[in-house]
Each structure stands twice: as C-alpha cells, then as structure tokens.
Amino acid sequence: MKTYNYKRNRELFQKALKVIPTGIYGHLGPTSSCFIPVDAYPCFASRAKGAYIWDVDGNRFIDYMCAYGPNILGYNDEDVEAAVEKQMKLGNCTTTPFAIMIDMAELLVDTVEMADWAFFAKNGGDVTNFALMVAKAATGRKKTILVKGGYHGVAPWTQKLGYPGIVEEDVANNIYVEWNNYDQVEKIVRENPGEIACFMATPYHHPIFMDNELPKKDYWQKIRKLCTDNGIVLAIDDVRCGFRLDLKGSDHYFGFKADLMCFCKALGNGWNFSALCGIDALKDAVSSVMYTGSYWLSAVPFAAGIACINKLKKINAPKIMKSQGKKLTDGLVDIGKRHGFNLIVTGEPSMWYMRIANDDSLMLHQEWVAECVKRGVFFTNHHNLFMNCAMTDEDIEFTHEVADEAFKVVKARNKELF
C-alpha cells in the first residue's frame, strides 16, 4: 500500500510561518496539537466531501477527526448546503436579526429535553463562559467546581496557573475534583457552604492523553441532588459529544437533568454557531448578563442548524454512529490482537478514545497512527475520535485494511517488543 507524499503541504507551511504565528495555531496546528509526528500529517485541505478530506497534494483521507467534531452528517451535506444557499440569497449578518433565529431556538427547545430557552453565540467557549456567568448571576456566588482534565475552552478561567498569560486571579475561584468521585464533590460543597455557584463538567470524561471514562452508576443522579439541595447550578458542557449520544442531550442519555447545557460542534454540520440551553428558573439571570458578539445572530448558520438537526432526527443519527463506531473499533481491536498489539478503546463508540497499551510511553501508538495517516486514514494520537453519518461499511473495511498494514509495519520496526 502506497504512502502519501506531502511536498506541497510543506511548501505552504513554510510560507504560512512567515505571516502567521506558528504557521497554523491552536488545535489544528502541528506545533500544539495531536499531529505527532508532524511529518505524517498533511497541513492544509483542498476540499472535503462526506467522510473524506483531500489535502493540497491530492491525498484523500477518511477523516475520523471530523473537524474535531462539527462534521456529523458528512462534509458538504446536500440538505444542509441547500438550506445555506437559500438563506444566503436573503442575507446573513444584518442590523436586526432574521426571524429564523426564533425557528432555531424553537427547534432546540423541542429537541433538547431539558431546554426551556436557547441563547446563541459562535464558539463552544463562548457558551461555557456564559454558563459560568449565568450561574454566578443567578446565585450571587463566585466559586466553581471543575473536573481535573476537563476541557471547556481557552478563556483564562479554563486554563491552569503557570500557563503563559494566566495569572492567579484568573483561576482563584476554581476548585478541582477527580472525575467520578462523588464523595470529593460532596466534601467540597460541605466545606464551602453558600459559596459554590456552579458545578461544570462534560457528560462523560474525555480528556486528552487519558482513557475516556463513563460516569459510575448513579454518579450524575447524586450530583444532581447535591446541586439542587445546595442551590448550585449544574452546567453540562455538551460541546464535544452533543447529539452523538442522544438528540435530547447527553444529560438525558445518562438519566439526569442539567440546569444549563452547552452545545456547539455538531449543531450546524460545520456552519459555526453555539448555543446555551437552560431551564426557566435561570431565564431572568440569562437576561441580566451583558453578553454579545458581532456575528452571533448571523442567519446562515441557523439555516444550517435547522437542516442539520432535522436530518439527524430523520435518520436517527446517534444509532447510526454508535453502530458504525462499534463495528470500526471492534475490528481495530481484533486486528491489533492478531499482531500482538493491545489496543484499548474507551468512551462511547460514536466518540471514542484509543491507545496501544504495549508500552507506557505511547510512542508505539503514535507510530501506528502515523502509518495509518500516511495511508489515508486520518486519526490523531491523544484525543478522542469521531464518527459521522456519512461513513460507510466500505470506509470501515478500508480502515481495517490500513490498520492491518500499519500494525505489520510497526511490529517489524519494533521486534524487541514482541
């Protein structure tokens, strides 16, 4: 099986370095992302369709990162793009918003089980930040309980003391707990009576560089009661896995009800907007907070969102992604075993995490992933991966073939470990 060449990618990256800090910054950049080793990965896309992206050298990849989540129906989905085109002819950003904003809000309230209202922004970090502000406005308190290793964006309060640009005041009111440790949360609430505004977490634990972890039995039910009994706002960051588990929300999937739910990635199949959904009891608090942005009420993403969510409902998207994800990951684990590799898969099949456990350094895993990428299967190393509804049985079969060859190559290169 032929491996890819990235000549044009490298030329463009050198060009980008001259005018853009680090060439490509943030989570999509080779210097600060999960694209390790960097020479195995393309830098720039030329087009995308369905389950695939093509790079500037013409190489095709089955994309199991799905743009880090937004691609849920398939790139350039015909129904979503038709809705976008129709709205674009009418307008996008205008002095007063289009009424399609109301349609989008009504659809979310009708779809998400806990939602009595919806507030729109652009990025996931916009709504996690807003959720915290709403909780503080509603309670008059200042402290927040967060789970260690949880990711809620890049605002200063979401980062760690010692990171560049972060000062003590940014994180002074954060209290960190271990995932799934209810007793620890209860102890903190008891030791800080009347001081905790918010408990924020993802519906299940999906940090980087660590196995994903589902909630223990009754964990969320006990957290829900603790928050209710102590006047604490329970905010769930469903930005990453929202709609991949349950169209009614991941809190519904795990059998509890959040006070605030943060959505983004999969809302519009790549057309960028985010939403904070909440309960009626917090509506006045939301209304009291000044929070806005230049493009937050642009109409085109709402058109995309309406088409996207309606199609997700029509095809029962979570069922598709769970089934296909299980087929994919079960096959990868079995193929690895045949070659002596212990591939560990955790999380949910529609948004899973994997690592080769034969060595603790994770270098073997990075090596295997690199060989897959160079043959047209786009994984990353230390982040959860994503399914979308456009991935076919043929795509999964091809992925298994690539994985098989990659395991053979890595095993031959590391004979001392087998």
Higher pLDDT, 25 or 181: 181
Asked if residue 324 and residue 304 are part of one domain, the reply reads no
pLDDT at 417: 83
d(CA 283, CA 277): 10
d(CA 338, CA 296): 51
pTM of the complete model: 0.96
d(CA 373, CA 403): 10
Inside any domain, residue 1: no
pLDDT at 285: 98
Asked if residue 310 and residue 405 are part of one domain, the reply reads no
Asked if residue 46 and residue 85 are part of one domain, the reply reads no
Report the pLDDT averaged over residues 63-74. 97
The CATH number assigned to the domain holding 133 equals 3.40.640.10
pLDDT at 253: 98
Asked if residue 215 and residue 86 are part of one domain, the reply reads yes
- Which of 315, 342, 363 is the endpoint of a domain? 315
Report the pLDDT averaged over residues 55-60. 98
Q: How many domains does the chain have?
A: 2
pLDDT at 214: 98
Give the tokens for residue 289. 């907070």
Inside any domain, residue 370: yes
Q: Are 145 and 177 in contact (CB under 8 A)?
A: yes
Domain of residue 27: give its range: 7-63+317-417
Report the pLDDT averaged over residues 405-413. 97
Residue type, position 85, single letter? E
Asked if residue 155 and residue 242 are part of one domain, the reply reads yes
Which pLDDT band, with edges at 50, 70 and 90, does 331 fall under? very high
Q: Are 273 and 301 in contact (CB under 8 A)?
A: yes
Does residue 267 register a pLDDT over 90? yes
Mean confidence (pLDDT) of the chain = 97
